[in-house]
Amino acid sequence: MSTENSANVSRRQFITGAATAVAGLTVAPGVFLLKTAGAANGADPAKRWGLLIDTSKCADGCTACVRACHEENGVRSLGRPKTDAQWIRKVHLTERETGHQHSLPVMCQHCEKPPCVDVCPTKASFIRPDGIVLVNKHTCIGCRYCMMACPYKARSFIHEPLTDQKPHSPRGKGTVESCTLCVHKVDRGEGTTACVEACNKDGHRAMVFGDLNDPSSEIAQRLKREGSTAVRADLRLNPAVRYQGI
Amino acid sequence: MRRGFAQFGLVLPALLLAGLALTLTGCGKVEPPAPHLVLEARGDQCVEPTDVIRRDHMKILMHERDEAKIYGRRNPNHSFVGCVDCHVSPTASRDDPSTHFCMACHQFNAVRMDCFQCHTDRPSDAAPPKRSADLEVSIERHLALQADGIETVQEISTP
Ligand code: SF4
Ligand code: SF4
């Protein structure tokens, strides 16, 4: 048993690393005062994270982003494609008149006015201060209202017990889930997502992740310079995922 | 009617007191986990004194999970993943409570918790049991079915 005592982070490191983040104070047994130090910890309301996807660079038949997302978050097929979770999918479009075809990834669009949040009876579907739309699985009752409300069909319901989840991506039966914009990476300050990394690695460079509110960020500058399309812009949900070339 | 209420008014505090007394007695009865499970904890000291963490870990986790989930204010000292990383053996399984630091104690005390229905039951550095080969095959199958049109994708109408 003692052979299993190999930890790559020692408890001491673990504690000292944490000491600066939040000061916790036990007032009395069972009563805690927690003080968050600085704005560095927590979703920054001044930011709005988003993606820009250039469909002219997105290769037909390439599924690097889908693969990377599902691997990153431990999403795997249970052999029943009708109910398997899909956080991101490739959609192929053909223009009827000209026959022009293109292919693009579609995931949760992280709407500024998300209908999934409006309909949720338990407020489990919520928008973080930095614009990332998530499901709080602690309070999700699995009613699937949000799945019906989402115009992008972005959400999946988990029908079966799961095993082998990723530590940063808890998932379980009876709850709804969708793209988290790799919130664990955002909170670690990595400034990228699994899909963007995979797309860059394959040399397509079709996706950019960044802060839409920061005028100096690549995404904001490209949006300003080149313009973009919001899918179903008529719904006025102001999605944080924008497309070019559709 | 009025009399009924008066009686109820007396009974209620009595019940509450009895409940409190029972809870307090219950608190003292937490059996420490089996020695081999404690040995597996890979650190020299817990993030809180043992009596505090033993009695109040659920309150700490419950209180801070909303902070972490909703506002992204994560406290590495009180993170669920942190507990599991430090305490749970890489070979433990939620299906066999005797191998699992958390589940063993919970089973002994007959306190059902569903954390591990969603959260992984193993530390981050445990070799994920279903890596590469299996995962690749299942992803391939998933994508193939999607490509064959068995799984339909939604049409996007542009405005
Ligand atoms: S795309 Fe769907 S799931 Fe995502 S925020 Fe918008 S309505 Fe909600
Ligand atoms: S399924 Fe969950 S997140 Fe969606 S509306 Fe119902 S409770 Fe809210």
Chain B residues near residue A39 by CB distance under 8 angstroms:
none
Residues A25 and A55 in one domain: no
Higher-scoring residue by pLDDT: A5, B63: B63
pLDDT at A15 exceeding the cut of 70: no
Which stretch of DSSP H or E encloses residue A242? strand A241-244
**C-alpha dist (Å) from residue A132 to A170, A242, B89, B120:** 17, 14, 34, 23
Range of the domain at A76: 49-244
pLDDT digits (tens, 9 = 90+) for A50-95: 999 999 999 988 999 999 999 999 998 888 888 899 999 999 988 8
Contact (Cβ atoms closer than 8 angstroms) between residue A103 and residue A199: no
| pLDDT score recorded for residue B30 | 57
Residues A32 and A122 in one domain: no
**Backbone angles phi and psi of A197, in degrees to 5:** -60, -45
Higher-scoring residue by pLDDT: A199, B32: A199
Residues A67 and A131 in one domain: yes
Choosing from A107, A144, A155, A232 the residue with most ligand 1 atoms within 8 A of its CB, the one to mutate for a pocket test is A155
Distance from the A10 Cα atom to the nearest Cα atom in chain B, whole angstroms = 6
| pLDDT score recorded for residue B138 | 61
Which stretch of DSSP H or E encloses residue B3? helix B2-28
List all residues of chain A from 168 to 207 with a beta carbon under 8 Å from chain B: 168, 170-173, 175, 183, 186-187
Question: What is A69-110 written as a DSSP string?
Answer: HHHHTT----S-TTT---SEEEEEEE-TTT--EEEEEEE---
| pLDDT score recorded for residue A8 | 41
Which range, of A26-30, A57-61, A185-189, averages the lowest pLDDT?
A26-30
Residues 6+ away with beta carbon under 8 Å from B138: A76, A77, A79
Residue A42 lies in a domain: no
pLDDT at B34 exceeding the cut of 50: yes
Domain range annotation of chain B: 30-147
Looking at residues B92-106, what average pLDDT do you find? 89
Cα A48 to chain centroid distance, Å, stands at: 13
Q: Is A86 in the pocket of ligand 1 (CB under 6 A)?
A: no
| pLDDT score recorded for residue A11 | 40
Residues A32 and A63 in one domain: no
Residues A85 and A180 in one domain: yes
Kindly state the tokens that stand for B98. 């005797």
Which range, of A22-26, A148-152, B92-96, B144-148, averages the lowest pLDDT?
A22-26
Residues A8 and A73 in one domain: no
Residue A210 lies in a domain: yes
Residues A88 and A23 in one domain: no
Residue A43 lies in a domain: no
pLDDT at B147 exceeding the cut of 70: no
Task: Give residue B149's pLDDT band: very low, low, confident or very high (50, 70, 90).
Answer: low
How many domains in chain A? Answer: 2
Residues A31 and A53 in one domain: no
Residue A44 lies in a domain: no
Chain B residues near residue A3 by CB distance under 8 angstroms:
none
Out of A7-16, A200-209, B94-103, give the one with best mean pLDDT.
A200-209
| pLDDT score recorded for residue B43 | 65
Residues A155 and A119 in one domain: yes
Cα–Cα dist B151/A85, whole Å: 11
Kindly state the tokens that stand for A221. 């500058």
B76–A21: do the CB atoms touch at under 8 Å?
Answer: yes
Residues A72 and A15 in one domain: no
Residue A77 lies in a domain: yes
Q: Say if residue A231 is exposed, middle or buried (CB neighbours under 10 Å; 0-12, 13-18, 19+).
A: buried
Q: Which residue out of B100, B119, B140 would a mutagenesis test of the A interface target, given it has the greatest number of A Cβ atoms within 10 Å?
A: B119
Q: Whole-prediction pTM value?
A: 0.76
Residues A76 and A191 in one domain: yes
| pLDDT score recorded for residue A28 | 52
**Backbone angles phi and psi of A26, in degrees to 5:** -90, 115
Residues A233 and A198 in one domain: yes
pLDDT at A13 exceeding the cut of 70: no
Contact (Cβ atoms closer than 8 angstroms) between residue A193 and residue A51: yes
% pLDDT > 70, chain A: 84
Quick check: ipTM above 0.85?
no
Q: Partners of A104 in the beta sheet?
A: A91
Chain A residues near residue B66 by CB distance under 8 angstroms:
136, 138
Look at residues A202, A26, A100, A130 and name the one whose alpha carbon lies nearest to residue B51: A26
**Backbone angles phi and psi of A131, in degrees to 5:** 90, 0
Looking at residues A231-238, what average pLDDT do you find? 95
Cα–Cα dist A209/B43, whole Å: 37
